[in-house]
Amino acid sequence: MNKESLVTENWNLGKITFIKELDSFANKVYLITNEADENYILKEQNCPEKVEKENRLLALLEENLPVAAPLPTKEGKYYLAERDINYVCYPFLEGDSFANHYDGECIERANLLGQAIGELHYYLRMIELEEYEESNLIEDILKDVKNIVKQNKDAFDYDFF
């Protein structure tokens, strides 16, 4: 099934006018635009248990923080399982990304980021987290980066492994 049919048949987003795969080293990510010029993000995810946990956490956080909680399917689920791939659709968050963290107003951005992380931690303390695994962010990121480098070794001039 093509992505347009998959989205149209499973989410109430209106007529789809544009779908583009975005650059992503991890799972596939698509930008979707409808006839009302509204944008959405469709992500492919592998582990349904992880998708369910993430969605429950985002739903709880959404009560207090501006997060991009997933949009329900026409059946009221927050992900779609289709041929061993789990699809999750999110509203597109408008804004700019920046390539160089040290240009321009870097001190102001760092302060805003610190405030946002502090607020996130504040609300996370109010949520029962027993079902979520404790993890080490740095170790997890390094593990993911190593896997990405291994999968994309042809893109690098140096053999890291």
Judgement on whether residues 85 and 123 belong to the same structural domain of the protein: no
Domain containing residue 57:
3-91
pLDDT at 10 over 80: yes
Judgement on whether residues 9 and 78 belong to the same structural domain of the protein: yes
β-strand pairing of 80-82 with 39-45: unpaired
pTM beyond 0.75: the answer is no
Please give the pLDDT value at position 99. 66
pLDDT at 11 over 90: yes
Judgement on whether residues 85 and 136 belong to the same structural domain of the protein: no
Judgement on whether residues 77 and 15 belong to the same structural domain of the protein: yes
Please say whether the beta carbons of 19 and 101 come within 8 A: no
Q: Domain count of the chain?
A: 2
Judgement on whether residues 15 and 49 belong to the same structural domain of the protein: yes
pLDDT at 156 over 70: yes
Q: Is position 31 within any domain? A: yes
Judgement on whether residues 10 and 85 belong to the same structural domain of the protein: yes
